[in-house]
Amino acid sequence: MMITTMNSTMNSTMITATEAPLLTLSGVQLGYGQAPLSAPISLEARRAQAWALIGRNGSGKSTLLKTLVGALQPQAGELSWGEGVKLGWVPQRASLRLELPLRVLDAVRMGAERGWGFLRPWRSAELRSHVDEVIERAGLSELRERSIGALSEGQLQRVLIARALVDEPDLLLLDEPTSAMDPMSEEATFAFLEEVRLRRGLTLLIASHHPQVIPSLADHALFLDREDLSVKAGEVNEVLSDPCFLRRYGEVSCAHGTWSAESHRHSHAEAQL
């Protein structure tokens, strides 16, 4: 039984959970072939947590997501899932082949389909109404007949998130969901994700190379640095105050405070005193 408490304090929402983790990584090393891309990663993701996977391009964020969905095997360590955990996947636009015409309705419905033959009966009334409900909740009702090729980046991202949500996942993986968006669309997308997370107790794992925006949504973070082969995982404040993180990104404002190399050095000195 899930036990989740939510306390809204000022602009931040603190979510704590006491149930078993949905995902556990114990010393997992990522990579292709024999070459490891990362230092060993250990973390536990629980229900309703929002994890930001932060790192520069090529640091291994997408590789971690591909490993989590089973497209790649970990080089070392152990990756385990909680019992019956259902995964959702929101890919980067560039990894989708959108040459065929696809309406918003078709794209969202595709997320719920598990069969692969035209001859098999499909589209029950129950599925149709579920898809309609997800489309409505995602604010896509007016766009449902529109071709996804005609959508803006923000609208397309919303469709891809709705497509992942229609399968009612416990944990949603998002690969650079706002990389091609303007700030307003980005803000709207994060607000939508936050609303879904709080309403459904959904766990989020969001890969991004924008550290400035991700912390506004995340309560936990995983920082991957390929140059130093270092990894830092934990609550977002811990990660943002990591010396390696500060060296790479400097000051990052987030819902939990503002962190900078200067403030970190100051607080570190105070702690030593």
Which residues of this protein are in contact with another protein, per CB under 8 A?
Answer: 32-33, 66, 69-72, 87-89, 91, 95-103, 106, 110-111, 113-120, 122, 145, 147, 163-164, 167
Q: Letter for the amino acid at 105?
A: L
CB of 107 to another protein, least distance (A): 9
CB of 271 to another protein, least distance (A): 43
Residue 88: count other Cβ atoms within 10 Å of its Cβ: 22
For the chain, what percentages of helix, strand and coil (3-state, to nearest 5) are there? 35, 25, 40
Three-state DSSP state, 182? coil
Token pair of 228 as six digits: 């130093």
CB of 120 to another protein, least distance (A): 8
Q: Which is nearer to another protein, 103 or 130 (CB)?
A: 103
How far is residue 249's CA from residue 45's CA, in Å, rounded to a whole number? 24
Q: Which is nearer to another protein, 90 or 188 (CB)?
A: 90
CA distances 13 to 167, 219, 241, 256, Å, are 26, 8, 20, 9
Q: Which is nearer to another protein, 58 or 250 (CB)?
A: 58
Q: Which is nearer to another protein, 73 or 212 (CB)?
A: 73
CB–CB of 160/91 below 8 Å?
A: yes
Q: Which is nearer to another protein, 6 or 94 (CB)?
A: 94
Half-sphere exposure of 31 (CA within 13 A, CB side): 16
